[in-house]
Structure 1
Amino acid sequence: MKVTIERAAFLKALNHVQSVVERRNTIPILSNVLLQADGGQIKLTATDLDIEVVETVPADIAQGGATTAPAHMMHDIVRKLPDGAQLEIEQGPDEGRIAIFAGRSRFALQALPPEEFPDLAAGDLTNRFTVPAAEFKRLIEKTRFAISTEETRYYLNGIYLHAVGEGDAAMLRAVATDGHRLAQVQVPLPEGAAGMPGVIVPRKTVLEVHRLIEDSDDALEIALSSSKIRFGFDGIVLTSKLIDGTFPDYERVIPKDNDKSMEVDTRLFAQAVDRVSTISSEKGRAVKLHISPERVVLTVNNPDSGSAEEEVAATYDGEPLDIGFNARYLLDITNQFGGDTARFSLADAGSPTIVSDAGDETALYVLMPMRV
């Protein structure tokens, strides 16, 4: 194999694929990136056996072939080379070595046989549809904070992606919950997504997809079955296993009869929560809300360090109510809002509360109260 490629293009591709490679591996080949040169392009593949990322980059191929090289080491080498450098990647008679030339620099890396590299075959992906990258990015950004990190409840360790509704009201909905809060966001159902199975996309996959599409304005091609999902755009293909479990019936925990409504300026409320929570203990982080018709008073009492209180103007249509919430959870939710007004739909001090952006009907959040 003998390939010449521009540093910036190769670095960008390496940066995309090497992030799925674990720093420590018991299987040596999983520390490597697979390089396949053929037909005027080089294909890079990396996997951790749960996620596979493939990116194809144009290159000058003097001699085709395939090899593997340590992913993180190769990334570091290319990253440290000067801008505008032309790289030559060459595998000589010794197939256990790969050489990289750039200007006066020369590196020789150990290579493992490409035949050992695992293939995360996607199999038959039954549903295929296209969604704008910006819309899918929004689904991720507004729900990922609520993904559970508790390994025992593994079926909550991802985003539940599924179709709801029919006709013009059909939506593609993303839901995440950790048992304390729930995030639900939806976009119009793309053509071809009707009848898709509900799937749980793992946290690592969610974060990788978000990172890859961060700067993309292209359409995102999605293909999935009940066990795997594949994302494709800009010459990149990410294939991932799905979480094999049943997502709980989340609609049961979304209250339907919360009859008290409070509206408050999102920015002023979030700043007040942030300020008063400074005094709270890390373990508790509870902030008490005393809600009355024209204002909400936020209070934190910490026996070890003192107390804090702040008043924020609010619109409220019910009897005065005292309710407590985890300050961090309140901030996580209000950080998702783009509008000026946050709406709280409440029942009583012990029942779940719906929090939403008054200017965005496509997202809602459910927050469990705390005793204060």
Structure 2
Amino acid sequence: MYIHFIRSQALSALKKLQPALPRDNLIPQLSGIHLEADAERKEVTATARSTALAARISFPSEVEEAGSAVINGTLLCQLMEKFSGDDVDIQTFPTENAVLRSGRATFTLATLPPASYPQPVFQDPYVTITITNFPQLVGRTSFALMQNSSEKPAYGCIRLNVANSHAIVTTTDLEGLTQVAVPVTTENFSAKESPMFLIPSYAARYISSVLDAKEALTIGITDHELIFFAHGLRASCPACKAEFLDPSMILRRIKPCYSALVEREAFCNALHSLTVSAKDPRATVDLGLTDDSLTLKCADLFSRTSTNITATAARPTPRVFYYREDILEKAVQTLQGSVIRVGIDQDGALLLRTKEQLYLQMPRTRAFIPSAADVKKKGSPKPSQAKRTGAKRKAA
């Protein structure tokens, strides 16, 4: 293989492949990027993959000699960034080496046999949808993903289903649930059908890292894989077939009895002001509604804080309910809009709504936090010691 190309074009393409490379080197072939030079199409197709994720992209090239090679992906990307020349030559030799030249610099890298590289197969999907602002959707919903989903893999995925020309994106950790609805373009299915995609979090993070903010992404599904297309980039990952709860059924059961309107910025600042040691996930925030305010209280073993937010159109709660503080703060940060509608049902389920997003969190049982009255003064005798002291005095 002997190719000549513009460095900036190749660097832009290879940077989109680099996040798909595995971080370990358990399988040496997967640490490399597979380059295939096509003399007729005058381009080079680069492929990178891990055990579960595969990505492929092409860039223009002058092909002096067609062929293929597998070059260490990390080193290849680093060299492309450090080369000072505008053009780059790559030439491979039968001795399993590749020589890279740019300007006055020349580097020789070892290559791996292309025949041993596990080439991905990108099948044609039978259903596709086109969506924009995918990175923003991932950022607004990934906080509610289950962190350890090995036993329940579906809840480590972003659920995306189509209804009424809108894509409804849902994530849940079975304690809280968030949902966003955005317009979408659909193909290859009738209006009666409702395709549903479970996008693994690692694939969602990869696609988000290589897409521009408003770049269109086409997502398709085959019998076994999810396929992603975006401006020359093609990626795939195994399709998740596990069971996922029905969000619409859960939301239909929530009937808020107590509600209010609060400013999102004030709500976010109030949660941020609550002092919780290292944002302990066990910490709870006490939340209650009065006629004109939303009251927030938070306590852990080291501190106690409380604050109020001005609320309008309020229907007060008869008592406070307890919620997970750290996830509630992240949820309010991701909600878009100036005003949040707060709703609480009689069992304490908290529902936050804006124009295009909602967040639902089930109440918690508050962990015991010792009050000042519960803490004995320093140096005071323990009850057992006091009893023994009294018995000695009586005997005397």
TM-score of the superposed pair, with normalisation by structure 1: 0.89
Q: Tell me, in whole angstroms, the C-alpha distance in 1 between the residues paired with 2:36 and 2:30.
A: 16
Q: Residues 283, 364 of structure 1: CA spacing in aligned structure 2 closer, same or farther, 3 A cutoff? A: closer
Which AA in structure 1 matches 2:140? K
**SS, match of residue 122 in structure 2:** coil
**SS, match of residue 91 in structure 1:** strand
Q: Tell me, in whole angstroms, the C-alpha distance in 1 between the residues paired with 2:169 and 2:242.
A: 16
Shift of 1:23: 1.9
Q: Tell me, in whole angstroms, the C-alpha distance in 1 between the residues paired with 2:266 and 2:44.
A: 52
Q: Please say which of residues 52-61 and 315-324 is displaced more in the overlay.
A: 315-324
Shift of 1:99: 1.2
String of CA shifts for 1:283-323, please: whole Å, max 9, x gaps.
423211232010122212223x2211212111212344312
String of CA shifts for 1:78-114, please: whole Å, max 9, x gaps.
22223x53211111232x1111111222111111121
2:309 to 294, 309, 312: 312
Q: Tell me, in whole angstroms, the C-alpha distance in 1 between the residues paired with 2:80 and 2:256.
A: 57
Q: Residues 339, 283 of structure 1: CA spacing in aligned structure 2 closer, same or farther, 3 A cutoff? A: closer
Structure 2 equivalent of residue 182 of structure 1: 177
1:77 to 73, 76, 79: 79
Is residue 116 of structure 2 the alignment partner of residue 119 of structure 1?
A: no
Structure 2 equivalent of residue 199 of structure 1: 197
String of CA shifts for 1:100-144, please: whole Å, max 9, x gaps.
11122211111112122212223352113333x22x344323222
**SS, match of residue 309 in structure 1:** strand
Q: Tell me, in whole angstroms, the C-alpha distance in 2 between the residues paired with 1:123 and 1:91.
A: 30
Structure 2 equivalent of residue 93 of structure 1: 94
Q: How does 1:169-318 map to 2 (within 5 A)?
A: 169-192=164-187, 194=190, 195=193, 197-217=195-215, 219-254=216-251, 255-278=253-276, 282-303=280-301, 305-315=302-312, 316-318=314-316
Structure 2 equivalent of residue 365 of structure 1: 359
Percent of pairs with identical residues: 20
Q: Kindly indicate whether the alpha-carbon contact (under 8 Å) linking 1:296 and 1:314 is maintained by their aligned counterparts in 2.
A: yes
1:53 to 52, 55, 58: 55
Q: Residues 76, 189 of structure 1: CA spacing in aligned structure 2 closer, same or farther, 3 A cutoff? A: closer
Q: Gapped runs of 5+ residues in structure 1?
A: none
Q: Tell me, in whole angstroms, the C-alpha distance in 1 between the residues paired with 2:113 and 2:321.
A: 62
Q: Kindly indicate whether the alpha-carbon contact (under 8 Å) linking 2:264 and 2:339 is maintained by their aligned counterparts in 1.
A: yes
**SS, match of residue 354 in structure 1:** strand
**SS, match of residue 162 in structure 1:** strand
Shift of 1:157: 1.0
Q: Kindly indicate whether the alpha-carbon contact (under 8 Å) linking 1:199 and 1:226 is maintained by their aligned counterparts in 2.
A: no
Q: How does 1:125-136 map to 2 (within 5 A)?
A: 125-131=125-131, 133-134=132-133, 136=134
Structure 1 equivalent of residue 383 of structure 2: none
Shift of 1:163: 2.3
**SS, match of residue 364 in structure 2:** coil
Q: Residues 142, 215 of structure 1: CA spacing in aligned structure 2 closer, same or farther, 3 A cutoff? A: closer
Shift of 1:196: 5.3
**SS, match of residue 246 in structure 1:** coil
Shift of 1:177: 0.6
Structure 1 equivalent of residue 334 of structure 2: 336
Q: Tell me, in whole angstroms, the C-alpha distance in 1 between the residues paired with 2:2 and 2:267.
A: 60
Q: Kindly indicate whether the alpha-carbon contact (under 8 Å) linking 1:286 and 1:300 is maintained by their aligned counterparts in 2.
A: yes
String of CA shifts for 1:15-34, please: whole Å, max 9, x gaps.
11121111213221111100
Q: Kindly indicate whether the alpha-carbon contact (under 8 Å) linking 1:49 and 1:120 is maintained by their aligned counterparts in 2.
A: no
Structure 1 equivalent of residue 44 of structure 2: 42
**SS, match of residue 142 in structure 1:** helix
Q: How does 1:124-163 map to 2 (within 5 A)?
A: 124-131=124-131, 133-134=132-133, 136-150=134-148, 151-163=150-162
**SS, match of residue 143 in structure 1:** helix
Q: Tell me, in whole angstroms, the C-alpha distance in 1 between the residues paired with 2:330 and 2:345.
A: 22
Q: Tell me, in whole angstroms, the C-alpha distance in 2 between the residues paired with 1:275 and 1:148.
A: 26
Number of positions where the alignment pairs a residue of Structure 1 with one of Structure 2: 358
Which AA in structure 2 matches 1:265? E
TM-score of the superposed pair, with normalisation by structure 2: 0.84
Q: Kindly indicate whether the alpha-carbon contact (under 8 Å) linking 1:276 and 1:309 is maintained by their aligned counterparts in 2.
A: yes
Q: Tell me, in whole angstroms, the C-alpha distance in 1 between the residues paired with 2:18 and 2:130.
A: 26
**SS, match of residue 111 in structure 1:** strand
Q: Gapped runs of 5+ residues in structure 2?
A: 367-396
